[in-house]
């Protein structure tokens, strides 16, 4: 029974009594208020019915698109992998020279979160890095896979540079295939291209493997693409958040992504690099 009917009944009963006129008006006002509240309650119920939550057709977890995977790549979701800690460490590396001073290789190996290191050995026809022997010995002793690199200068002859490199970089002491660092043209472009080809071939013959060619993305695009160096594995330096893209879209194995890395055990900045997806540390093992 509604509130209105109840108070109508009470009103008729009271009207038969001997109450003052003022009391009658007060009762009328009360009845009106309760009647109004009853109507508002009914209206609220109708509104609440309209506001009932609607079931949403949300995708199940196996239908959701992983971050970084485009919609058209859904058929390849099984290829999206989470790297284990060991795999992550093996992909992260550094390269060092005498510029880093005396390195605490034990701290690098335990806290540095790197799995491999490239160490400068030689440059041109006569320069030998005075920290090379220490860096190579201590890095390997502390469990880091280690390799060596030579800084190429086209104003030195191929034979002179090869003699310099091979006198320092011994096969028996290498965990990783050697790197040839190419950043400058010393003299004419034609001499540079010819000597670089000859030097890469000589290094391959001596060490029994194709050396990695290291350079900057702009240097490759301007001087090396289309010159026959795509038969060598590449390490590309590009210090931005986005991965580098070569003009000829040639793939590369390693991306050096910063020259201002901070690694425990090393004072100051250090170059940091990463082995690209689709490759593993085994692709650069000596």
Q: Which amino acids are annotated catalytic?
A: 95, 183
Report the C-alpha gap between 193 and 199 in whole angstroms: 10
- 112: helix, coil or strand? coil
Strands 270-275, 92-96: pairing is antiparallel
User: By C-alpha distance, which of 215, 119, 211, 206 is closest to 163?
Assistant: 206
Strands 254-261, 270-275: pairing is antiparallel
Give every CB contact of residue 205 below 8 A, 6+ residues apart in sequence.
none
DSSP state of 251: -
User: By C-alpha distance, which of 272, 273, 187, 189 is closest to 234?
Assistant: 273
Give every CB contact of residue 91 below 8 A, 6+ residues apart in sequence.
83, 115, 274, 275, 280, 281
DSSP state of 69: -
Q: How far is CA 275 from CA 67, 93, 115, 188, in A?
A: 21, 8, 10, 33
Match 């239908």 to its residue by tokens. 63
Give me the DSSP letters along 174-239.
-SB--EEE-----S-HHHHHHHHHHHHHHHHHHHTSPPEEEEEHHHIIIIITTTTGGGS-EEEE--
Give the burial class of 263: count Cβ atoms within 10 A of its Cβ; 0-12 exposed, 13-18 middle, 19 or more buried.
Answer: buried
């Amino acid at each position: 029974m509604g509130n209105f009917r109840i108070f109508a009944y009470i009103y008729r009963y009271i009207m038969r009594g001997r109450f003052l006129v003022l009391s009658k008006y007060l009762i009328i006002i009360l009845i009106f208020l309760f009647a109004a509240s009853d109507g508002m309650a009914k209206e609220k119920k109708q509104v609440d019915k309209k506001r009932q939550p609607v079931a949403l057709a949300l995708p199940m977890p196996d239908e959701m698109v992983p971050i970084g995977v485009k919609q058209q790549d859904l058929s390849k979701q099984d290829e999206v992998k989470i790297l284990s800690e060991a795999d992550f460490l093996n992909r992260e590396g550094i390269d060092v020279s005498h510029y880093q001073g005396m390195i605490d290789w034990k701290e690098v190996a335990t806290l540095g979160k790197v799995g491999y290191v490239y160490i400068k050995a030689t440059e041109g026809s006569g320069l030998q890095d005075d920290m090379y022997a220490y860096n190579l010995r201590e890095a390997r002793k502390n469990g880091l896979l280690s390799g060596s690199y030579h800084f190429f200068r086209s104003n030195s002859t191929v034979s002179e540079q090869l003699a310099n490199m091979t006198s320092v970089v011994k096969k028996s002491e290498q965990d990783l295939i050697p790197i040839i660092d190419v950043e400058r043209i010393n003299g004419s472009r034609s001499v540079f291209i010819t000597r670089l080809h000859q030097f890469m071939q000589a290094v391959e013959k001596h060490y029994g493997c194709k050396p990695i060619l290291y350079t900057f993305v702009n240097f490759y695009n301007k001087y090396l693409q289309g010159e026959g160096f795509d038969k060598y594995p590449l390490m590309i330096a590009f210090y931005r958040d986005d991965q580098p893209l070569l003009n000829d879209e040639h793939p590369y194995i390693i991306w050096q992504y910063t020259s201002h890395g901070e690694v425990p055990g090393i004072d100051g900045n250090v170059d940091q690099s990463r082995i690209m997806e689709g490759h593993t540390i085994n692709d650069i093992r000596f």
